[in-house]
Amino acid sequence: MLYITIQELEAAINYWRNQSPAVGDELRLCPEAAALAKPYALMIVQGSQRMPLDVLDELARTAIQAFNKLTQS
């Protein structure tokens, strides 16, 4: 996979949020969901439907790869 779609990002964010719900008064996201939320928001603002994987930071890339492995097995 060279690109990630906005739908895949949304599914991964929801997966990580279900695994580790938001905590605290500020409803802080788990690290994986927070890392994926940044490129997701950018895609919404830019009106993009997909984004190259190589622009994701290491935590976001790891989170999406783990999500893909867990949901494809």
Number of domains comprising the chain: 1
DSSP 30: P
Report which of 68, 69, 55 is spatially closest to residue 3, judged by C-alpha positions: 55
Does any domain span residue 72? no
Provide the domain limits for residue 14: 3-67
Does any domain span residue 46? yes
Q: Looking at the predicted structure, is the pLDDT value of residue 64 above 60?
A: yes
Host H or E run for residue 67: helix 58-72
Does any domain span residue 73? no
Report which of 67, 55, 57 is spatially closest to residue 20, judged by C-alpha positions: 67
Tell me, what's the pLDDT at 9? 96
| pLDDT tens, position by position, 17-53 | 999 988 888 889 999 999 999 999 999 999 999 999 9
Contacts of 11 (CB under 8 A, 6+ apart): 67, 71
- Whole-model pTM: value is 0.89
